[in-house]
Amino acid sequence: MKKILAGVSLALICLSLGAQKYSGLIDKTVAVIGGEFVSLSDLEQEVSTMRARGYASDQNLRCEILENILQSKLLLMQARVDSLTVNKEMVGVQLNQHIDEIRTALGGDEKVEEYFGKPIYKLRQEWNRQFEEMSLTQQEQQEIARNIPEITPYDIRQYVDTADVANLPVIPAKYQMSQICVYPDVEAAKLAAKEKLLELRERIIAGEKFSTLARLYSDDIESAKRGGELGMASKTMFWPQFSDAAMSLKVGMVSNTVETPDGFHLIQIIEKKGDMFNARHILIKPRYTSSDREKAFARLDSLRALIDTTDISFETAARLYSQDKASRTNGGQMADPGTGSAYFDKDQIKPADWAVISKLEPGQISEPVESTDNEGRNGNLVYKIIRLDKIVPSHTASFETDYNELYGLVENTKQMEAINKFIDKKISETHIVIDPMFKDCDFSRAGWSEKIRK
């Protein structure tokens, strides 16, 4: 179902640009589906978008896009028959995000208008219509999926019993862990970062080049190579604190210290156009000394010894001494912030954490380790000891141990079967004509090829 949704989304985020692949041809209708038409420029619209995002454009891509457009038209027609309504709030959010991404990728409104050959207000109107259609087609897929019978344990058991063992999913090894965390002296490190930026700002005011100091001192490695320059981008692409400070500056001005989850910044505006700007920045992240590390490690070593030599449990020690608010209330048990699950796949575990737990047996506690938490873009520095609570070895999914995973697989399979059956039925019932210029396309559904005009 996710694959089908993705295909519809791809087809419906079409942008407006004249035909490029087939130079010399006047725009024409290349497909008729019911009362809907697909023009050659419709096809090239999405190709242009994909090219703007770095995708190579070739005939295979055009065939795939055409098939997705046709598929979306079938679902859209049914959505209108079913009187589904557009979620305008969601469409507004998606539209603004899409526009900001395109503006940022191309370098501003003027570049967008030049690239697509249309004024931005016209593009916004077209994109809004297309996102509304996407909202309807996604809802129609959900309606089709919702009508499948409820999955029962019998369905799961039957799937396991009849499927080829080689086709059953392999559940990767999972790890359950608990931690006790100690943070360094954050306030002292923040103060040092702000003092460093104050010094750099004074040097800039005194005449030194912002770009030179960004290359020398900024912790944003990529922009530092460009003298701190970020490029023209929508303000929505940055942390709100950063955007608000940048938009309040005049060209050439240098901000005071600005704090974001990434650290502390100085900002210098190069150019502003509407709600877009190009700026230089110097990022200084809070830094911690070897003394911070030694103190934290000594404290964690003491807690580890306390757990090993007394009746105090790891869970009690975590509740009393851990500084990680998310895990200490659960006796230190770690959980995936996205799903809430207490079990982690190997690739979900932070590299620093994995380096120590990979050497442990269940029940053992690690030596102190320097790691990061889940805050901000890259996490904040934290010191911790980790107990490996449990390992569930990698295995072929079974009814007894992996019911939830199998439930999701069976449900998804039945939803996709229902949607595919619906689309295939609509292809056979609907008046569809496809231009013979696509006769060499290897469509995923044979029904499309049968609709190519002879």
Q: What pLDDT is stored for residue 19 in this prediction?
A: 33
User: Other CB atoms closer than 10 Å to residue 272's CB: what's the count?
Assistant: 17
User: Tens digit of pLDDT for each residue in 313-341?
Assistant: 999 999 999 999 889 999 999 998 877 88
pLDDT in the model for residue 327: 93
CA–CA dist 316, 369 (Å, integer): 20
> Would you state the pLDDT for residue 13?
41
* Domains of the chain, earliest start first: 2-150+409-449 (1.10.4030.10), 174-184+288-396 (3.10.50.40), 187-284 (3.10.50.40)
The chain-wide mean pLDDT, for the chain, equals 87
The answer on pLDDT for 379 being more than 50 is: yes
* In the predicted structure, residue 244 carries a pLDDT above the cut 90: yes
Per-residue pLDDT at 282: 96
How far, in Å, CA of 61 to CA of 10, rounded?
Answer: 11
* pLDDT higher than threshold 50 for residue 441: yes
CA distances from 131 to 32, 74, 94, 137, 296 (A): 21, 16, 7, 10, 52
Q: What letter does residue 453 receive in the DSSP assignment?
A: -
Q: What is the pLDDT of residues 48-72, one digit of tens each?
A: 777 766 666 555 788 888 898 899 9
Overall average pLDDT of the 388-402 stretch: 92
Q: Which two tokens mark 153?
A: 């344990």
pLDDT of res. 56: 61
